[in-house]
Amino acid sequence: MSAHHQSITVATRPSRTRGRTSFRAGAVSALGLWALAASVCGSVWIATGAADGRYLLELPGGNAPHWVDGPLHGFSGLFGTLGAGGLSAAMLLLGAGYLVALACARSLPLRWALVAVGLANLAFTLGPTIVSTDVFGYIAYARELAAHGLNPYLSEPISLGHESLLKFVYWKHQPSPYGPLFTLLSAPLGLISTILALWLYKAAAGLASIAIVLLVVDVARQRGIEPARAAIFVGLNPLLLIYAVSGAHNDLLATLLVVLAVALALRSRHAAAGAAVAGAAAVKLTLGIALPFLLIGSHRRGRSVWGAAAAAVAIGVPAWILFGPHVFSQLHRISSDPLFDTTFSGPDRLARSLGSPIDSGVRAACFVCAAVAAAVSLVWAWRGGDPIAAAGWALLALLASIASLAPWYLLWLLPLAALSRNRGLTLATLLATAYLLAVHVPAFGGVPWLSQPPTSTRATRTVAAAGPPPRPGIGAHPRGARIWSDPAPASATST
């Protein structure tokens, strides 16, 4: 072979390699875009299908009015009705799109990831509240305080008397388990109509979810993490969309404040960061676990402590004047009363493996394991470990120990896992997502709503519709009715 021919051959090899690399990158990018589209389609499928009147809103009984369906009512023809098969397919489509989009995230432009996140969140914001009636409980507690001058930490929603709102409230005999900051912020919504209050809560939930994603993207850039992947990891998570955004849960506000604290700390605004974490704890006490990790990661801990203390005083003094020492009394009941236990929680799995109910021994064992995990995480962070990853591991252990675990609680962990640069925490979060999604997919024998363990000492059988029980499956019962066989319905109220 001549030297000239050899030079041509050698010169063409890099060109061919570049061509194959370019083709591979283009294929991965196209696959990622299809995955984003699948996530959006799955979101629209569930949101519009739920709005056709056969959604799984846990009303105490009777038919739901059409204003609960929201503006997507009448659009179920886009993908068909939301029966057991349809809901299973949509949930699996949403989950598959999420995982594939994450795998292809490096090849995806950030703008397209944010567009998909925005559309998916918009669909669930405009759709009806699915599964949980917590949002109606929010309205009831706000109405107790603002319209009737009652203390929601002492008075149950049933004290509202003959208010029409009560037919949408499941836990009529339970005082508020929510933090004082959330109660105070919600008070004005107790003075307006139930319809307007519901959709303001829904709008606030959608905006909070988008704000979390935008803050996560900002922090990811500062920490050298791929922003598109971080946006997808949080904003297209199926549990966030189906449960947290759809149900307008206040976990979104609490998580937003935690992510805001991280962003502020990275900008050396330590006092404001401490105040933000204190605010998160005043919405959802469990997220106060982030505070010690914030202090460890701060290079000006005194200012962080000062900010947290100032916020605690600013929130705590009015709360004490208005509500007295009863603000957190309901939390003990939720953590110890079998009425609030849910199937597939960590304590439920442990109890079943032991052949026992979730008794005090099981609860104590789970608490000790979570406390040890939190202590180990704190020591790791103190010795130079990533405080964000350490806080994430502590929260994951807490989630595994909660007997009243609800799927949307995973939201607490998502931003920290996305920002941690810890592959183990990322994988554990994805496995937790897959587990909590799979156990609620009808095709896998699950149910999308929350239910009590069959071994619960206070499990009940509730039949809220006349006539013989329908066949198992979603959409087989009248609109708004609730029909269960054991395991019985459990609390949709979060801790």
Tell me the C-alpha distance between 491 and 478, whole Å.
22
- State the average pLDDT for the chain: 84
Q: What is the DSSP letter of 340?
A: G
How far is it, in rounded angstroms, from Cα 401 to Cα 397?
Answer: 6
Chain Cα centroid distance, residue 410: 5
Q: What pTM, to 2 d.p., does this model score?
A: 0.87
Residue 25, number of CB atoms within 10 A of its CB: 12
Contact of 303 with 336, CB cutoff 8 Å: no
Evaluate if residue 53 carries a pLDDT over 70.
Answer: no
Q: Residues 6 or more apart from 289 whose CB is under 8 A from it?
A: 374, 391, 394, 395, 398
Q: What is the dihedral of CA 64, 146, 494, 463, to 10 degrees?
A: -30
Residue 130's pLDDT is: 84
- The rounded distance, in Å, linking the Cα atoms of 260 and 276 is 7
Task: Check whether 241 has a pLDDT greater than 60.
Answer: yes
What are the pLDDT digits (tens) for 94-125? 999 999 999 999 999 999 999 999 999 999 99
Can you tell me the distance from the alpha carbon of 494 to that of 330, in angstroms, rounded to the nearest whole number? 11
Residue type, 375: A
Amino acid 301: pLDDT: 86
* Angstrom distance (rounded) from CA 77 to CA 54: 13
Model confidence pLDDT, tens digit, residues 412-421: 999 999 999 9
Give the pLDDT confidence score for residue 466 in this predicted structure: 30
**Cα separations (Å) of 462 from 452, 472, 490?**
12, 15, 11
* Cα within 13 Å of Cα(237), Cβ side: 35
Phi/psi at 451 (nearest 5 deg)? Answer: -145, 155
In 187-237, alpha helices (H): 194-222, 227-235
